[in-house]
Amino acid sequence: MSSDPDQVPDHVREAAQWHAAEMNLAREIVDSLPPGLTFDDFFAEHGVQAPSYEDVTGYTKAGEPTLDFVRDKIEKRTAIAIGTEELAAAMPGNENLDHFFAEREKAAKSKLDEIRKSMGGATD
């Protein structure tokens, strides 16, 4: 790519301008901090706090899942199961599937009984 500024694509130029504006804003914030005040103090003073390790990972530092993580996982699985069931009930033609699976189960049981009988075992 050429270093000629006229040949730089517009989106690259806009991104560079945005980045420069963000850097200027960051510089203004740093310059406005009173001497001795750290970013952590500044953010705490304004109610801004970084998420904890547990909030980000869902695990404690000892490697155990947090209650919120487990609860979210259970709720997600429950929602997926309910949604899948509702979707299956709403789709046309599923009555035939229920019949098909019932026939398949009946054939499997019959085959199992046949195998047991041929081996001299009892059938259910």
pLDDT tens per residue, range 33-66 = 778 877 777 777 777 777 889 989 999 999 999 9
pTM over 0.85: no
The position carrying tokens 């000892």 is 62
Question: Can you give the pLDDT at residue 69?
Answer: 95
Supply φ then ψ for residue 59, to 5 degrees.
Answer: -130, 150
pLDDT of 13 > 80? The answer is yes
**Can you tell me the distance from the alpha carbon of 24 to that of 77, in angstroms, rounded to the nearest whole number?**
46
**Can you tell me the distance from the alpha carbon of 30 to that of 24, in angstroms, rounded to the nearest whole number?**
10
Distances (CA, A) of 96 to 4, 70, 73, 103: 68, 37, 33, 11
Q: Residue 66: which of 84, 54, 77 has the closest Cα?
A: 54
Higher pLDDT, 110 or 48: 110
Question: Can you give the pLDDT at residue 97?
Answer: 76
104 within 8 A of 110, measured Cβ to Cβ: no
